[in-house]
């Protein structure tokens, strides 16, 4: 049950993340997102074989980290100004934080126990925090870089574009194999989760139940 709750819930949050990018882009002037079908919750519109399926599933199975992996192609030249470009990038991580908060409120108001759907919902809430923090990293191709990119000079943007493919793997490897970065990431996740009221013990149980093959 926990495995299905987390998997289905994460699929929904993926659609919400990408829909949020598209909605803000539409409000900011990029009407092409409507013709592309992004203003829907149809996951097929956001699917990329590597970034939408393989990497997010790998991160979930191995490390319990939420990695939004959809693909929404925004025509940024249509947006009214640089602030809208930043807002489009930030819309995705903000949607993860909002969903995490909603799940935290549900958990707080419900008769939570160690069984049933609650461990899965708690772990799903924690995944939203990991997704938001990961996406706010100010390096390409993460949303945090997209938020600051309009304010960088042309030379810096060109250099970042050249290293775009390598940087994402460097970040992932650092999260796994550099203790300081791993500790800093998870301490930040737990700090935000505590602030939102996500029960960490229940989320930990949800992780254990989700990774049933490790028991």
Q: Which residues belong to the active site?
A: 18
Of 137, 28, 136, 149, give the one whose Cα is nearest residue 92.
136
Residue 117 pLDDT:
92
**Cα gap 32→34, rounded to integer Å:** 5
Stretch 63-85: mean pLDDT: 83
Token couple for 7:
């998997």
Q: Where are the beta strands (DSSP E) in 78-202?
A: none
Comparison of pLDDT for 46 and 14, the residue scoring more: 14
Q: Per mean pLDDT, which range of 2-6, 114-118, 206-210 is the poorest?
A: 114-118
169 has pLDDT over 70: yes
Residue 70 pLDDT:
64
Stretch 11-30: mean pLDDT: 92
pLDDT in tens, 196-210: 999 999 999 999 998
Percent of the chain with pLDDT over 70: 92
Residue 69 pLDDT:
63
pLDDT band at 26 (very low <50, low <70, confident <90, very high): very high
Residue 41 pLDDT:
81
103 by DSSP, 3-state: which? helix
Do 1 and 120 meet the contact criterion of CB atoms below 8 Å apart? yes
The residues, any chain, with a CB within 8 Å of residue 34's CB and separated by 6 or more, are 26
Do 92 and 154 meet the contact criterion of CB atoms below 8 Å apart? no
Residue 42 pLDDT:
77
Residue 191 pLDDT:
96
Q: How many Cβ atoms are within 10 Å of 202's Cβ, its own excluded? A: 21
């Amino acid at each position: 049950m926990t495995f299905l709750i987390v998997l289905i819930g994460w699929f929904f949050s993926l659609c919400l993340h990408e829909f949020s990018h598209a909605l803000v882009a539409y409000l900011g002037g990029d009407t092409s997102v409507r013709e592309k079908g992004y203003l829907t919750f149809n996951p097929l519109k956001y699917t990329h074989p590597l970034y939408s399926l393989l990497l997010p599933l790998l991160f979930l199975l191995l490390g319990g980290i939420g990695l939004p992996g959809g693909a929404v192609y925004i025509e940024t030249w249509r947006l009214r100004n640089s602030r809208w470009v930043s807002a489009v990038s930030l819309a995705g991580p903000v949607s993860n934080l909002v969903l995490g908060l909603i799940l935290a409120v549900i958990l707080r108001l419900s008769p939570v126990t160690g069984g049933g759907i609650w461990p899965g919902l708690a772990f799903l809430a924690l995944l939203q925090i990991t997704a938001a923090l990961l996406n706010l990293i100010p390096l390409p191709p993460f949303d945090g870089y997209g938020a600051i990119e309009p304010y960088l000079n042309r030379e810096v943007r060109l250099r970042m574009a050249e290293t775009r493919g390598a940087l994402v793997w460097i970040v992932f490897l650092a999260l796994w194999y550099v203790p300081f970065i791993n500790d800093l990431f998870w301490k930040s996740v737990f700090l935000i989760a505590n602030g939102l009221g996500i029960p960490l013990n229940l989320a930990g149980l949800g992780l254990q139940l989700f990774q049933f093959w490790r028991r």
